[in-house]
Chain A
Amino acid sequence: MSVRYGLLGLLRLAPAHGYQLRTDLVDVTGATWPLNIGQVYSTLQRLERDGLIEADDADPADGPERRRYRITQKGISDLDGWLAEAVPHENGPRSELVIKVAIAMSVPGTDVRSVLDAQRATTLMVLQQLTKTKRAADGKLAALAVEWMVLGAEAEIRWLDLCEAQLTKAESRGSR
């Protein structure tokens, strides 16, 4: 879905070949998002089939790698509709981390803090890495894509803090 509209959006700017589109999409969304050229070509073929893009006077026998695409009127209105629509909020309540901590807090004798600590260190290292990537992309659109991941990691650590606070509260209730 997102690759489809990413490509459509780039074609809104100017006609382009598949390989150029791939480079540009990685540029604006950050190299952290793997995107292989095969996926780009198959998506372009579907967009063409649906009449959202068309190839410049291409020989129908040419493969997608030889074609230079441009957006159609139908493509433009499809893109505008997508831009105007909010993306449903993603929330994975069944993340492995949530399950792990819930189990750790339920199974008697588990060193819950040690579970939280290990996770904290791991996620902090991810944050350090992301921060380096973000610095390197400073000022570019890709930095915003990295920022999204920074916020995800930050949220995870805040959640670990909340878990620890809850644990501390439960312990002080227990000891009274």
Chain B
Amino acid sequence: MTAILELLNVSRLFRQGSVEVAALSEVSLSVARGELVAVMGPSGSGKSTLLNIAGGLDWPTSGTVFVDGTDLGGLSAAELAGLRRGSLGYVFQELNLVRSLTAAENVALPLELDGRSARESRAEAIESLRVVGMADQVDRFPDEMSGGEQQRVAIARGLVGTRRLLLADEPTGALDSAAGEEIVSLLRRRCDAGCAALLVTHEARYAGWADRVVYLRDGAVVERASVSPDDDL
């Protein structure tokens, strides 16, 4: 199996006033092509920190992160930006939609930033919005949408184009169970088609779609609470 994402002994310390907080300590994790891995754990256990580091949005204090075999620590800022736009899809915990752009423009943004033509980007954006059930709202602005609709747009933006690694932080936050299931099953299908994904969720029903579940507590992986595919009932 080819690991699309690999974290080796990753630690992340944050300074909070006079104390140092270990948001992650010595976390090792690898996600292969085709795998959907769920990350669970109590609030403050380091889930978002893990995702940010996996996506090159934050840096480990020590340890190494490989995406597609490339050590993120060895990349220049420009190289890293290129990798982020080209191979990674994000859905953030706070959705980060641009309020002055329509749904289609928001979704097309990563493609346009990657140098694709406006027409091509828009066509792909609309296709991605269709997949999340937002085909009829492509020209609406975030402020004109419900929380769940904004969430779908954020997901469409994360999935647009040919992403090899999807990183989703509570992508089902504003959705009811039925809509949430649809989104997670979408991630599942992407993985079955050869993507890799890391899904942060505190809802066990969504973790049920994953091949593996990594449970974090106080920044460390708790093996006993985690589930790997070789575990048996």
Contacts and interface: CB of A to CB of B under 8 A. Distances in A.
Contact of A164 (B42, B231, B232): B42
A56 B200 CA distance: 58
Interface in A145-176: 150-151, 153-154, 157-158, 161, 164-165, 168
Given A117-B225, A126-B233, A153 B42 contact: no
Interface residues of B, number: 21
Interface string B190-233: 00000000000011110111100101010000101111000111
Contacts of A168: 42
A165 B45 CA distance: 13
A11 B205 CA distance: 35
Given A164-B42, A165-B42, A121 B227 contact: yes
A19 B202 CA distance: 44
Given A125-B231, A126-B233, A164-B42, A131 B209 contact: yes
A131 B187 CA distance: 14
Contacts of B213: 121, 124
Interface of A is mostly: helix
B231 to A, nearest CB: 6
Contacts of A125: 227, 231-233
A128 interface: yes
A12 interface: no
Interface in A76-106: none
Contacts of A118: 224-225
A170 to B, nearest CB: 15
B206 to A, nearest CB: 9
A114 interface: yes
A11 B131 CA distance: 41
Nearest to A135: B185
A118 B223 CA distance: 9
A128 B225 contact: no
Interface string A108-128: 000001101110110111111
B143 to A, nearest CB: 33
A124 B227 contact: yes
Nearest to B210: A128
Top-7 shortest CB links A-B: A117-B225, A127-B208, A131-B208, A157-B204, A117-B224, A120-B225, A154-B205
11 contacts: A118-B224, A120-B215, A120-B225, A121-B213, A121-B215, A121-B227, A126-B233, A129-B233, A131-B208, A153-B204, A157-B204
Interface of A: 113-114, 116-118, 120-121, 123-131, 135, 150-151, 153-154, 157-158, 161, 164-165, 168
